[in-house]
Structure 1
């Protein structure tokens, strides 16, 4: 599903969170939204999901005006930083939840959940509860639950922000590999510049509620927009030039996180 953001604005009192934002996201893309805190990244994500309402502008999903559609009608999966798993449900029950409330046939649910358990490499953990899992495992369950309903768009709001550095690195490698297997249009918010460079196939830089720059990861790294320098933003920091081909060849196994 493609996403078109047309002249979108959102205010919270006197604070302008989004200021006439225009953005096009192609079907099957893996896009990172980056920028300083308060620049509008998460606000845009919530508006796309239908969790917030814009003051002006429109959202188009595959050519259909979705600005006034309900959350359910948008066919979007959303993953939060804090996982938001149901503590009283097992891994299996958490993943199956969205299918259960849609009255999907139990045999279809069984097959779908088992496929996702295999995809996230947690087949042996289906009967465990969230408090029996590591942070990385809980986040994978949250991703599987979002994918269970076969959404047309997957939105991730700082999905790895609460995890330690080692787990985050392993999970972002896994997310990139997951997107190759399930190429649903994916948009994620991150404060981690390296995460955006390694995972996304396109980066959108936000600043003060506006889109500052759009480009491929290497282009954004090599040619940051004039006026958006390393010293004036938390996004551009001094780290060695990434070898993207080497990154792609990294181990995709996440069984230990």
Structure 2
């Protein structure tokens, strides 16, 4: 087991974002958290990352109680929807940033960044700046930067939400292939059921702060299809 969420609750004032959520995510999984805005999926992601503290419950990472650990102690890579790349840094320096702040040796940084540039197929763009890249390219750089530190868990918050349909579809396929090559435990948030079914090997459906369904894409597709036919 990589991640275990136990009886997690979180309130923002009178609004209950999470209500007694329990979830186990196995090592090497690619999991989608799906649901409408305000259903709790992004709040859960931020609590796992250490960006929010739960009101109740615990988060376990690789058998360790991480509920009150700092972001740095969790060894997690986080990719935001807006990429959050440093505009004054080149692609190379953006990817190297996390390694640099950990005082990694220059040779190790060079080899790791070169490896990741090849992985995201942007070898020729190392010296460019974020404003010289397309949205899809910036998203790949953000993913490479998160992977540079070799995180135990990779968290993606609506990673394709700001992209047009063609680029979005290309990146969905790319993320699936990337996970096959680098099988780090990955959780991504989306409100798009189709996106979840194309990318994830397990889907967790949220509704009003609680988990409504859990299953693989095939099982959930059958359930949704059966429900649709019964409503005709």
TM bucket, shorter chain:
over 0.9
Q: Which residue of 1 aligns with 2:52?
A: 52
Structure 1: runs of 5 or more not aligned: 231-257
C-alpha distance in 2 between matches for 1:8 and 1:130: 37
2: CA distance, partners of 1:36 / 1:159: 16
Q: How far apart, CA to CA, are the structure 1 residues paired with 2:225 and 2:140?
A: 34
CA deviation after TM superposition for structure 1 residue 52, in Å: 0.3
**Alignment RMSD:** 1.4
Rounded Cα–Cα distance in structure 2 between residues aligned with 1:224 and 1:72 = 39
2:150 alignment partner, SS class: coil
TM-score, length basis structure 1? 0.87
**For residue 141 of structure 1, what is the aligned residue in structure 2?**
141
Aligned to 1:200: 200
Unpaired segments ≥5 residues, structure 2:
none
Runs of 4+ off more than 4 Å: none
**Contact residue 154 and residue 187 of structure 1 kept, 8 A:** yes
- TM-score, normalised relative to structure 2: 0.96
In the alignment, what sits opposite 1:26?
26
| Number of residue pairs matched by the alignment | 229
Whether 2:81 is the aligned partner of 1:73: answer no
What CA deviation, in whole Å up to 9, does each residue of 1:160-186 have, x standing for no partner?
Answer: 100000000000000000000000000
SS at match of 2:23: strand
Task: Tell me the secondary structure at the aligned position of residue 57 of structure 1.
Answer: strand
Q: How does 1:1-257 map to 2 (within 5 A)?
A: 2-224=2-224
Which range moved further: 215-224 or 3-12? 215-224
Whether the aligned pair in 2 keeps the contact of 1:39 and 1:206 (CA below 8 Å) is yes
